[in-house]
Structures are given as structure tokens and as C-alpha cells.
Amino acid sequence: MLEFFDKYGSPKTAYNTARALAPWFGWISIILFLAGLAGGLVYAPPDYEQGESFRIIYVHVPSAWMSLFIYIVMAGAGAMSLIWKVKLTDAIARSCAPLGASFTFLALATGSLWGKPMWGTWWVWDARLTSELILLFLYLGYMALQSSIDDRRMAARAGAILSLVGLVNIPIIHFSVEWWSTLHQGPTVSKFDAPSIDIRMLVPMLIMSIACMFYFASVLLVRTRCEILQRERNTAWVQELVSKSEVK
């Protein structure tokens, strides 16, 4: 991993790599989104209990998965920044936070929309919902901490510590439906030995999840490029890049 960052982690190389890959990831995500939505809205049959309202899972479930995945990426990048002082990983961690917060908010919002017809209420202080809400506060706290500290090195250190402490919430979210009595339904996709979701429903949801992964990768690269330019704005290669843009 360190050899990878030594080879490709220089700001200029990382900027050029991100510039080349971001559009490809973006187009792949669009194609997968279209395929997943078509499968989820047209191909998948109605649920025998929930009818057509179950189709919100094609937004809710991938968003919930991404909220956890992005936090792990953010915390991992923060740890590398804290331990090995890699500037690129700090830029990645900073770029992850708004994306993670957006997916977490989307998961909570769609969960409320789903909960109203199923549970008869928009919100309950359920273990899964409450721990997911705490995750949103962790993302917002990370962003607030970063913006409140002018010294980027100190901000990176503080953000990394906060994100690592917050990792304890990830297994709580994942296992909450098994550890406590909860209104939220138990695991369905992960039960490969006895699957409890129709394959015609499962495949579009997995496609939507992969689409979200590519979307995240594309936007992360764009945001990381902006972070690199902000950090390196006084360097010769950025000045040269700006000059070429002005000429065009």
C-alpha cells in the first residue's frame, strides 16, 4: 500500500489519474443506474406483503450500504494520514465526508418514507435508525471540525481521530437488528444459505449498489482533484495548469 502511494501518490500524478478516471466511472455509474432502475421498477415483481411500495429499497438499501462503506474508507484514509502523513489520503478523507453524509441522509429519508406505510409512523427510536442517525452526526461533526481548524495538518489529525473513534458505530449499525428487538427487518441479502429475497428483486438491487459505488468513485476523484488544487495552488505545476486553462 505504501509503495502504491509512493509511486502514484504525488499530487500531480494523483491529479492526472483522477482526471482520467473520473469520467469513465461516471458513465459506468449512469449505465448501471439505468439498468438497475429498469430491473427494479419493471422486471422485479411486487412484494407479496408490501406490494409496489417495496421498490424504495432500490434507493434505500444501496444508500444505507454506501453510508457505511464510505465511512470505513474515510476512517481508513484518515488513519493513513495520521500514521504515515500521506497528504493524498487526507484529501481523500476530506472528500469522503460530504458524500457519506449525503448517502446517510438519503438512507434516513427513504427509510422514513418506507416506514410510514409499513409501521404507521415516519420515525421510531429504533436501534438501526438511531445508530444510522448517529452516523450522520459523525459525518457532520467531521466536516464541522475540518472547517473550524485553519491549520490543515491539525485539522487532518483531529478529523482522523474522530473518524477512527466513530468506527465503533459501524458494527452497531450492521448488527443492531440481531442484537436488539427492532421494528427494522432483519438481514435478507446476506443470508446466502437461505436467501429471503427473490432473485428478480435481488439482482437489480445489487446492480444499483454497484452503480452507487462507481458514482462514489467518480465524485470522490473529482472532489479529490479540487482538494489537491487547493493544497498545491502555489506550486509551479498548478500555476502552469492555470495558465494553460486561461489561454484556452
Q: What is the CATH number of the domain that holds 118?
A: 1.20.120
Q: Is 47 helix (H, G, I), strand (E, B) or coil?
A: strand
Within a domain: residue 115?
A: yes
Using an 8 Å Cβ cutoff, are 139 and 93 in contact? Answer: no
Q: What residues make up the domain containing 106?
A: 21-243
Angle between helices 87-119 and 11-38 (to 10 degrees): 20
Task: Choose among 68, 48, 13: nearest CA to 197.
Answer: 48
pTM: 0.90
Radius of gyration of the chain (CA): 20
Within a domain: residue 193?
A: yes
Within a domain: residue 101?
A: yes
Within a domain: residue 53?
A: yes
Within a domain: residue 9?
A: no
> 115: number of CA atoms within 13 Å, CB side?
18
Domain count of the chain?
A: 1
Within a domain: residue 34?
A: yes
pLDDT tens, residue order, the chain (248 aa): 556 555 566 888 899 999 999 999 999 999 999 999 999 999 998 877 777 878 999 999 999 999 999 999 999 999 999 998 888 999 999 999 999 999 999 999 999 988 787 778 888 888 888 999 999 999 999 999 999 999 989 999 999 999 999 999 999 998 887 776 665 665 565 544 555 677 888 899 999 999 999 999 999 999 999 999 988 888 888 888 877 776 55
Within a domain: residue 199?
A: yes
Backbone angles phi, psi at 241, to 5 degrees: -65, -40
Within 10 angstroms of residue 61's Cβ, the number of other Cβ atoms is 20
Within a domain: residue 10?
A: no
